[in-house]
Amino acid sequence: MTFHLQSVLRLTPRHCLTRRRCVLPSTFTSLFPSSSSIATMCHSCACKIGPSLLASDLSCLKDEALKVVAAGADYLHLDVMDGHFVPNISWGPPVIKSLRPHTKAFFDCHMMVSKPEQWVPDIAAAGGDQFTFHLEATQDPLALIKQIRDAGMKVGLAIKPGTSAEAAFPYVELVDMVLVMTVEPGFGGQSFMADMMPKVETIRAKYPTLDIQVDGGLGPSTIDAAAKAGANMIVAGSSVFKAADPKAVILQLRHSVEKLGNGKSDDQLTKL
């Protein structure tokens, strides 16, 4: 099987959250390019904080989104739940579409849905910038990755707490981001699962320039563990939206990632 490079592999540097992409006019015959070739196109992963709108006051969603963007958010995290892959139902493309005219913020759409393939066209049309699907929800990740690329979106790959880091390895070089869930997906306000951090460490050790996102229970009391493990994309819900000063919380999260990030060892940390 062969694909055009522009159809499968995102060549925008992984540290960039942008609504535009850079594609080289060439093809490849091996579905999995070497990690060294990707590294030449990417810089070290940068810290990015994305408030989860699921934790906002849904009665004034637009205002809540604009509030955290003004407070320094790097992107907005939108959880789409279908009531099947996870028990809850949140929102879908119409809500995303209604928000799109009000902000140029990067929309990271976390698709907690069965049959994610059916959602790609509508999420793209609504203005989604990144389509993050669960590895557990599809039988053909490669075809789904290509479909998302062809729809003009970045690709995120999410794994639930019960899924190993190694299960994602065959697809990492074809996606822009890996999301390691630090709670069971489907509910907000759960406690951070610190025992997921070895999974983050494993992925970071193998892919030093990859965007690694963590989602669930992240806030000032848990950010250091995630940052030290190597996560650089932080989804924060209640800790930001319920804060008296969201800007201060975002700054605190960013400071921890920038100081402790990239999977530094205890010995390295003592030298900071």
Q: Give CA separation, 206 vs 52, 159, 234, 257, 262, in Å.
A: 28, 17, 20, 19, 12
Q: Does a structural domain hold residue 65?
A: yes
Decide which of 40 and 132 is more confident. Answer: 132
Let me know if residue 190 belongs to a domain: yes
Let me know: does 197 contact 225? Beta carbons within 8 Å: yes
Has residue 15 been placed in a domain? Answer: no
Does the annotation mark 211 as catalytic?
no
Tell me the residue range of the domain where 252 lies. Answer: 49-264
CA 143: distance to chain centroid?
20
Nearest 5°: CA angle at 156, between 208 and 92? 155
In a domain, residue 13? The reply is no
Q: Which of 150, 176, 215, 245 is catalytic?
A: 215
High-pLDDT (> 70) share of the chain, %:
79
Q: What is the CATH number of the domain that holds 218?
A: 3.20.20.70
Residue among 74, 79, 108, 129 flagged as catalytic: 79
pLDDT mean over 139-143: 97
Query: What pLDDT is recorded for position 70?
Result: 98
pLDDT tens digits for 6-38?
Answer: 344 444 444 467 654 433 333 333 333 333 333
Let me know if residue 12 belongs to a domain: no
What's the pLDDT band for 79 if we cut at 50, 70, 90?
A: very high
Q: Would you say residue 8 lies in a domain?
A: no
Tell me the pLDDT of the chain averaged across its residues.
84
**Considering the domain boundaries, does residue 121 fall inside one?**
yes
Mean pLDDT of 33-60: 68
140 belongs to the catalytic site: no
* CA dist., res. 86 & res. 186, Å (int): 5
pLDDT attached to residue 263: 56
Q: Which residues touch 239 (CB under 8 Å, ≥6 apart)?
A: 218, 219, 220, 249, 253
Question: Is 21 inside any structural domain?
Answer: no
How many structural domains compose the chain?
1
